[in-house]
A and B are shown apart, each in its own frame.
Chain A
Amino acid sequence: MRRSNWLYVPAGLTYLFLYLPIAVLVVMSFNAADTPYRLDGFGTAWYGKLFADRAVREGLVNTLIVAAGATALSTVLGTLLAVGLARYTRSKLLDAIAVAPAVLPDIVLAIGLLAFYTAVQFTLGRHSILLAHAVFGTAFVAAVVRTRLAHVDGSLEEASRDLGATPLSTFARITLPSLAPGIIAGALLAFSLSIDEFVIAFFTTGPDNPTLPIVIYSMVRFGVTPEINALATLLLAVSFTFVLIAQRLSRLTESI
Chain B
Amino acid sequence: MSATRTPPRAARRERLVGRLATLGPGLGYLTVFMLVPLALVLGYTLFHRGRFGGIVYEASADNYTRVADGLYLGVIWTSVKIAGITTLLALLLGYPTAYLIAQLPRAWRTVALVLVVLPFWTNFLIRTYAWIILLNSEGIINRALTGLGIIQRPLELLYTQGAVVGGLLYAYLPLMVLPLYSAIERLDPQLREASANLGARPARTFWSVTLPLTLPGALTGCVFVFVPSLGNFVIPELLGGGRTVMVGNLIRDQFLKARDWPFGSTLALIVIALLVLLLMAQAWAARRLTDGTDRA
Contacts and interface: CB of A to CB of B under 8 A. Distances in A.
A107 B231 contact: yes
A53 to B, nearest CB: 15
The listed residue with most B CB atoms (<10 A of its CB), out of A8, A78, A84, A94, is A84
A228 B133 CA distance: 11
B87 interface: no
* Tier of interface size on chain A: 35 or more
A11 B34 contact: no
B114 A247 contact: yes
Contact of A228 (B25, B126, B189): B126
A131 B34 CA distance: 11
Given A11-B101, A37-B133, A112-B41, A85 B23 contact: yes
A106 B15 CA distance: 36
A115 B94 contact: no
Contact of A81 (B26, B101, B234): B26
A101 interface: yes
A24 B59 CA distance: 54
Given A4-B202, A198-B124, A229-B133, A17 B170 contact: yes
B33 interface: yes
Nearest to A250: B110
A125 interface: no
A120 to B, nearest CB: 9
Interface string B12-23: 001101110111
B37 A11 contact: no
B116 A14 contact: yes
A256 interface: no
Interface stretch (B67-75, B267-275, B284-292): B267-275
Contact of B123 (A21, A78, A216): A216
B108 to A, nearest CB: 11
A49 B88 CA distance: 41
Given A112-B38, A216-B126, A220-B125, A37 B136 contact: yes
B193 to A, nearest CB: 9
A116 B17 contact: no
B14 A11 contact: no
B52 interface: no
A198 B37 contact: no
Contacts of A108: 38, 41, 231, 268, 271-272
B252 to A, nearest CB: 7
B178 interface: no
B41 A115 contact: yes
Nearest to A247: B114
B126 A112 contact: no
B40 A115 contact: yes
Contacts of B265: 111, 115
A88 B64 CA distance: 41
A107 B170 contact: no
B133 A196 contact: no
B233 interface: yes
A45 to B, nearest CB: 17
A224 interface: yes
Given A107-B251, A235-B122, A112 B40 contact: yes
A129 interface: no
A115 B30 CA distance: 16
A232 B130 CA distance: 9
A142 B44 CA distance: 30
Contacts of A135: 29-30, 33-34
Interface in B163-191: 169-170, 173, 177, 189
A94 B23 contact: yes
A88 B119 contact: no
Contacts of B177: 14
28 contacts: A4-B202, A11-B101, A14-B93, A15-B116, A21-B134, A76-B25, A81-B23, A100-B30, A100-B34, A104-B272, A108-B268, A111-B264, A119-B40, A158-B1, A167-B17, A199-B234, A203-B255, A220-B129, A220-B238, A221-B237, A221-B238, A224-B132, A224-B133, A224-B136, A231-B126, A232-B129, A235-B123, A243-B117
- Top 10 nearest A-B pairs by Cβ distance? A84-B22, A112-B37, A81-B26, A21-B130, A84-B23, A105-B231, A10-B96, A116-B37, A88-B19, A7-B100
Interface of B: 1-2, 5, 14-15, 17-19, 21-27, 29-30, 33-38, 40-41, 44, 92-94, 96-97, 99-101, 103, 110, 114-119, 121-134, 136, 138-140, 143, 169-170, 173, 177, 189, 192, 202, 227-228, 230-231, 233-234, 237-238, 248, 251-252, 255-256, 261, 264-265, 268, 271-272, 275, 279
